[in-house]
Amino acid sequence: MHSLKMYRATGGICKLQRVFGAAQCRTKVLSVENMNPHVKKMEYAVRGPIVIRAGEIEEELRQGVKKPFTEVIRANIGDCHAVDRLLNDPNYPSDAKERAQRILNSCSGQSIGSYSDSSGVRVIREDIARYITERDGHPADPVDIFLSTGASDSIKTIMKLLMTAKDGKDRAGIMIPIPQYPLYTATIAEYNAYPIGYYLDESNTWACNIPELKRAIKEARSECKPRAIVIINPGNPTGQVLSRQNIEEVIKFAKEENLFLMADEVYQHNVYAEGSAFHSFKKVINLDPAVKVMQLKSISAKLCSSVSGQAVMDVVVNPPRPGEPSYDLFIKEKDFVLGQLKKKAEMVTKTFNSIDGISCNAAGMKPDAFYCFQLLEEAGICVVPGSGFGQVEGTFHFRTTILPPLDKLTGMMEKFKVFHENFINKYK
């Protein structure tokens, strides 16, 4: 499960002025007037304004607001799992059962097999908002959060709103980093949009340089109508972590160019480089209220994301706290998993940097696809050519994960070093 945060660089101009100084009035980046007209036309009978209001009424009832009834009976959709279930297993710690019961109490019939609101289970969104608030030091509103079945679903939901529903020079342009995760180019192609690639600076730890952003958008204006910029931080597949100053520069750029800002921050806990720290792009999570109505209508056609997946997300953002029965075991397991990832990251970096003719931050020796096929055939190691992610012309890369168990990864690094040395001797 992933939750993708939405940022609109020109929204809340008064708040931006306090950081960046005065700004001229401008058209909203994403409004009902300039959003994808096809989304405005779509309807989905079993999920619409009435059902959205039903969810609001249920929340009002939970808060003690008096109504001429005590519950909302949902007869709008065939939800066979909305039946009573209880959690009485004595083998679970009390705090774990309390968390589970709290989530179940927010599900129809106390079952995670039932449907949730299109945006997700209310209490889970509340926990996510609290997590973001504690992380950033700025308040987050659960109303502004929606849960999806993976990052792909979130990205498609927002990109769909940004489409112009036109062709040629009037089609929407989306700025994406190169290298990038292939999901973005695939989604852009699916929606017949225009990919505006901006190259990350490999010589400077894959930094996001503002002159390169300006070059990319200037060259693209004759081909499309730039609508948004995608930032992946920490980077995938590059792994770079943007500095706070770099983030502020990107936000200024998005504001100047009137671009919707999409920040993919999935790997925020995977920061290992000395001196690096994760900073979220979030200052204010915002979306034009009228557009939000359209967005909710759009996601309602898919009913909701997997409720069991939503429950897993709640475990991520609402972990055991000090003093609770599960805390000691939780922190032990968390430290072990993250510690193993850090060890593997350091080991992979050290090994690559020790091999003649290769480093974690340098070009390959031969075209990447050929290299990767040879690596698979001769060493049984499967990695991905950098061309699948995009790369500067004339340079070659491959992408590897650090997910295999430590002992297997150690053996993999030894095999890789032998393979590479033999490869260089054979083809030099």
Neighbours of 306 (CB within 10 A): 16
Q: How far apart are CA 318 and CA 244, in angstroms?
A: 26
In the chain, where the domains are located:
5-30+162-289, 327-427
Q: How far apart are CA 193 and CA 422, in angstroms?
A: 44
Structurally, at CATH architecture level, domain 327-427 sits in: Alpha-Beta Complex (3.90)
The whole model's pTM is what? 0.68
**pLDDT confidence of residue 10:** 36
Q: How far apart are CA 213 and CA 144, in angstroms?
A: 28
**pLDDT confidence of residue 321:** 93
Q: Which amino acid is at 249?
A: E
**pLDDT confidence of residue 4:** 41
**pLDDT confidence of residue 13:** 34
The residues near 265 (Cβ < 8 Å, ≥ 6 apart) are 5, 233, 234, 278, 280, 281
Domain 5-30+162-289 shares a fold with domain 327-427 = no
Residue 232: what are its φ and ψ, rounded to 5°? -110, 115
**pLDDT confidence of residue 421:** 86
CB distance 401 to 344 below 8 Å: no
First to last CA, the chain: 45
Q: Which of 267, 263, 238, 235 is nearest to 250 (CA)?
A: 263
Q: What tens digit of pLDDT does each residue of 37-51 get?
A: 767 655 544 455 666
Percent of residues, the chain, with pLDDT higher than 70: 83
The residues near 426 (Cβ < 8 Å, ≥ 6 apart) are none
**pLDDT confidence of residue 314:** 93
What average pLDDT does the structure give for the chain? 80
**pLDDT confidence of residue 196:** 95
Residue 321: what are its φ and ψ, rounded to 5°? -105, 160
**pLDDT confidence of residue 74:** 63
**pLDDT confidence of residue 243:** 86
**pLDDT confidence of residue 284:** 55
Q: Which of 232, 230, 238 is nearest to 273 (CA)?
A: 238
**pLDDT confidence of residue 47:** 52
Q: How far apart are CA 70 and CA 64, in angstroms?
A: 10
Q: What's the CATH fold of domain 5-30+162-289? A: Aspartate Aminotransferase; domain 2 (3.40.640)
Residue 219, both tokens? 């060259």
Q: For the chain, list residues with pLDDT below 50.
A: 1-23, 44-46, 78-85, 363-366
Distance of CA 69 to the CA centre of its chain: 40
